[in-house]
Amino acid sequence: MPKFPGIKGIFLDEDPLMEQGSKGLKGISIPDCGLKKSDLKKDESAYIDAKYIRKSPPELPEVSEPTVVRHFTRLSSWNMCVDTVFYPLGSCTMKYNPKINEKIASLENIKNLHPLTPGSLIQPVLKMVYDFNEILCRLTGLAEFSFAPQAGAAGEFAGLKIIKKYFDLKGENRKTILVPDSSHGTNPASSVLAGFTPVEIKTGKAGTLDAGELEKFVSKDVAGIMITNPNTFGVFEKDIKKIAEIMHKNGSFIYMDGANFNAFLGSARVSDMGIDLIQLNLHKTFSTPHGGGGPGSGALGVVESLREFLPVPYVKKVSGENTAGADKNFNRQVYELAEDKNNTIGKMTPFLCNFAVVIRAYAYLLSLGRENIASVSELAVLNANYVKKKLGKILSDPGPFEEGLCMHECVFNDKAIEENGISTIELAKLLIDYGFHPPTVYFPKNIRGAIMIEPTETESIRTLDNFIKAVKEIRFKTKKSKAVKSPQKTKVGRVNEVLANKHPIFKY
């Protein structure tokens, strides 16, 4: 058994850069643009009306390059991250972010490409987006994707706007979107933003949505249902096909929150479940880094009948069914950025998409290829079930699900740890001192003191065992007095959030 990674070490403290300045210093090399000295000296009022000119420049720090580099390097050392620790944050799919994808996204011409460069010069880039779209269609069984949504919530919003517009055009005023009470907070929030009223349905005892229960909510006011599958307990919605049938019979849509798509990647298609729309969080399932909160990409896929509603612009293939050879060196204009979607919900973003995220996701898929892609979901599901089984013995209560299998993540309640007086948040903070990032806690809301663990496919049994051992120690050996003080090995201790909210300080 490996040692726990959390040991004592030096934390380097660091003052705000604002306090480290010295007048006149700067850390940037300003390009020599060849301007004459006389021009460089000229006052701005020689160019524009003096009334517009800012009298005092913004008070930025005055620091050199090494000071900036040391400052931010020290800051970075205060973060836990996927590359340093096991990061089993449920519903977030914190898998390994391949380094080659970073190298590819940093290719000089790609990262410096202006989005309004004439189409004839950027054929390879447009082809890439087009081809990736086709792959996502194959993996889901849907007809077309839009990369316009910048994150999962934006994908949800776009999907719901499409549903809204569909009914508007049909002259039907349907106002309700059904959401299970275990859904991500973004689901009801996106529903409201798209002009709907979200109505919550209680999940059944097994942690899934019961088709019979759903029937009670069905009316001509229901535009659709948003369902996370596997749901936020990590459980597959067994009635999914029936739910889709009920919705379709009612003329409504079934939107799947694809945040948990990692459980299906290469193993099952959402079209076989009857899904009409889904957003794929490329920053989860497709390995692009989370960046400490973003950016991401929430590519939205739809069935054939909704293609014309997708956001614009999109990449359109305009010529040549058989262009082999002819466009091998990208000499012909085969692809263009088009806006000709008859019922489009409009634009979501100023340009095409979060391209640098999309390219990483595409590189990830090409790395895996058809040989390995199905292993992603298999290993993710295996790992989660292993944790569920092992921790089930320690945290005793099976939680929301009976004895069945989970998918990519598992959820426990706080009943077992409560026996030795430890709360969920204390468990989370104790795990930090062992050298693990805590699981998602207190979500889903309908599980008491929920502890939600998603190991992903990029963790070994060895790591999982180490984590399980830590939970076991906490469960059976840790005293309350230690729990309330944790974490103790971090840069700062438990943060006073009451103070932070009572007397908010937003800036220096």
Partner 1 sequence: MNNFRYFPNSKKDIAKLYRILGIKDKKELFGKILGGIPLMEAGILKALPEEMDEEALYRFFLNIDSNIPAKNKTAVFAGGGIYNHFVPAAIDGLMSRSEFYTPYTPYQPEVSQGTLFALFEFQSMIAEILGMDVVNASMYDGAESLAEAVLAAMRLSSANRDLPAGHKDDLILISEGVNPNYTSVIKTFAGGTGVKIGKIKLNGQTGQTDIEDLKQKLANGGRVPAVVVQQPNYLGVIEDLEEIEPLIHSDSNSSFIVSSTEPYSFGVINPPGFYNADIFAGEGNSFGNYMNFGGPLLGLFAAKKEYVRQMPGRIVGKTKDGKDRDAYAFILSTREQHIRRGAATSNICTNSSLNAVRAAIYLSLCSKSGFKEIASLNLKLAHILRDRLLSSGLFEPLYEGDFFNEFSLKLKIKGNKHNNNITASEFIEKMAERDILAGIAISESAVLISATENNGLSDIEKYAENAKEVLNA
* Binders in 457-486 for partner 1, by CB under 8 A: 457-461, 463, 485
Q: Where are the beta strands (DSSP E) in 426-466?
A: 440-441, 451-453
Using CB under 8 A, pick the residue from 2, 169, 366, 402 that binds partner 1: 366
Shortest distance in whole angstroms from residue 216 CB to partner 1: 20
**Choices 71-79, 203-211, 318-326, 409-417 (CB under 8 A): range interacting with partner 1:** 71-79
Residue 320 found at the interface with partner 1 (CB under 8 A): no
Residues near partner 1 (CB under 8 A), total: 201
Shortest distance in whole angstroms from residue 467 CB to partner 1: 14
Q: Where are the beta strands (DSSP E) in 283-355?
A: 298-302, 314-317, 335-338
Residue 82 found at the interface with partner 1 (CB under 8 A): yes
Two structure tokens written together for 293: 């909160």
Tokens 């005055």 map to which residue? 62
Instruction: Decide: 282 and 251 in contact? Cβ < 8 Å.
Output: no
Residue 157 found at the interface with partner 1 (CB under 8 A): yes
Shortest distance in whole angstroms from residue 199 CB to partner 1: 10
Using CB under 8 A, pick the residue from 236, 255, 286, 412 that binds partner 1: 236
Q: Which residues pair with 315 in a beta bridge?
A: 337
Q: Which among 244, 86, 253 is positioned nearest to 165, based on CA atoms?
A: 253
Tokens 């996204």 map to which residue? 105
* Binders in 418-447 for partner 1, by CB under 8 A: 428-429, 432, 437-438, 443
Residue 275 found at the interface with partner 1 (CB under 8 A): no
Peptide bond into 180 cis (omega under 30): no
**Choices 191-199, 202-210, 220-228, 302-310 (CB under 8 A): range interacting with partner 1:** 191-199
Shortest distance in whole angstroms from residue 357 CB to partner 1: 6
Q: Which among 394, 389, 390, 424 is positioned nearest to 404, based on CA atoms?
A: 389
494 Rama sector, left if φ>0, alpha if ψ -120 to 50, beta otherwise = beta
Residue 100 found at the interface with partner 1 (CB under 8 A): yes
Instruction: Decide: 198 and 177 in contact? Cβ < 8 Å.
Output: yes
**Choices 97-105, 207-215, 218-226, 416-424 (CB under 8 A): range interacting with partner 1:** 97-105
Using CB under 8 A, pick the residue from 202, 248, 347, 415 that binds partner 1: 347
Residue 58 found at the interface with partner 1 (CB under 8 A): yes
* Binders in 195-234 for partner 1, by CB under 8 A: 195, 198
Using CB under 8 A, pick the residue from 253, 261, 286, 355 that binds partner 1: 355
Instruction: Decide: 220 and 250 in contact? Cβ < 8 Å.
Output: yes
Instruction: Decide: 141 and 261 in contact? Cβ < 8 Å.
Output: no
In this complex, which beta carbon is closest to partner 1, that of residue 305 or of residue 372?
A: 372
In this complex, which beta carbon is closest to partner 1, that of residue 3 or of residue 30?
A: 30
Instruction: Decide: 86 and 458 in contact? Cβ < 8 Å.
Output: no
Residue 324 found at the interface with partner 1 (CB under 8 A): no
Two structure tokens written together for 150: 């910048």
Two structure tokens written together for 353: 């998409």
Amino acid at 425: I
**Choices 203-211, 267-275, 302-310, 394-402 (CB under 8 A): range interacting with partner 1:** 267-275
CB atoms within 10 A of CB 371: 7
Using CB under 8 A, pick the residue from 33, 205, 324, 403 that binds partner 1: 33
